[in-house]
Amino acid sequence: MKKLLVIKAGNTLAHLQKKFGDFEKWILDPLNIDAQQAMTRSVHKGESLPKYEELAGIVISGSHDMLTDHLPWMEETAQWLKGSVEKQIPILGICFGHQLLAYALGGLVEYNPRGAEYGTVPIRFSLVRTHDALFHSLPTQIEVQASHQQSVIELPDGAVWLAGSDGDPHQVFRYGPNAWGVQFHPEFNPTIMRAYITENAALLNRQGKDPVQIRADCRETAYGAEILNRFARIVFPDQGSKENTG
């Protein structure tokens, strides 16, 4: 049986991990798939990636590392991802994973010239999304949870731009038929989002942003879980549609 691979590119904050689990749990829970349908590889710890033939789909997690450090595991994973795109395995890159996917395909990733983007933010879709397998039928504007300092400054040649925000014009892109990058965190809830704002309050203050107000403005949004659940249906189409209870 082919499986969904979660490429784990880092660990969450220690106190969040103790209470809520780590990135892979937050990603897998809304997918509503059986545990035996998924595997996780912690590439930041040197774990090797499986053969493409074993995979039905791939999700790349966020990370506290910066892609511009170009650590060996990042470069190796980027090369592997390029091969997975060529084989048209469905892919969803999240935050760092979005950046890594773009970099693997020839895009440019740097520190966001608009500064760090944290909190519950609105993103706006292009009309192209009405024909997109993952984002079709979503409203033109939705709210999502954002937590990042670096961004995709230039999309890869051939990428389709799908959505942006005031803080980052490249929030969502697609490459080929079924490889997507999302700069936001569909796996975050408001509690997790507020913890990241608190953790980065000093940075936000230095950039002239108000972490207290950003925290206060955090709110629940159902779209993250819906997007993850939709991706699971692309990866495992024979299972049909399930109601998301995450």
Q: Which listed residue (44, 95, 148, 170) is catalytic?
A: 95
Q: Which listed residue (44, 148, 170, 185) is catalytic?
A: 185
Q: What is the mean pLDDT of the chain?
A: 95
Bridge partners of residue 173, in order along the sequence: 161, 181
Residue 199: enclosing H or E segment and its boundaries? Answer: helix 190-199
Give the pLDDT mean for 37-56.
97
Domain residue spans of the chain = 3-110+149-188+222-239
The helix/strand/coil state of 177 is coil
Q: Is 218 considered catalytic here? A: no
Kindly provide the residue ranges of all beta strands, DSSP E only, lying in 79-140, ordered along the sequence: 91-94, 108-111, 117-125
Give the pLDDT mean for 188-200.
98
Res 238: pLDDT: 84
Tens-place pLDDT, residues 82-104: 999 999 999 999 999 999 999 99
pLDDT at 244 over 70: no
Give the pLDDT mean for 216-220.
97
Query: In CATH terms, is domain 3-110+149-188+222-239 a member of 3.30.559.30?
Result: no
The pair of structure tokens assigned to 146 is: 């954002």
Q: Which residue in the block uniquely carries the two structure tokens 């969502």? A: 172
Bridge partners of residue 144, in order along the sequence: 121
Query: Model pTM?
Result: 0.95
Q: Which listed residue (24, 148, 187, 218) is catalytic?
A: 187
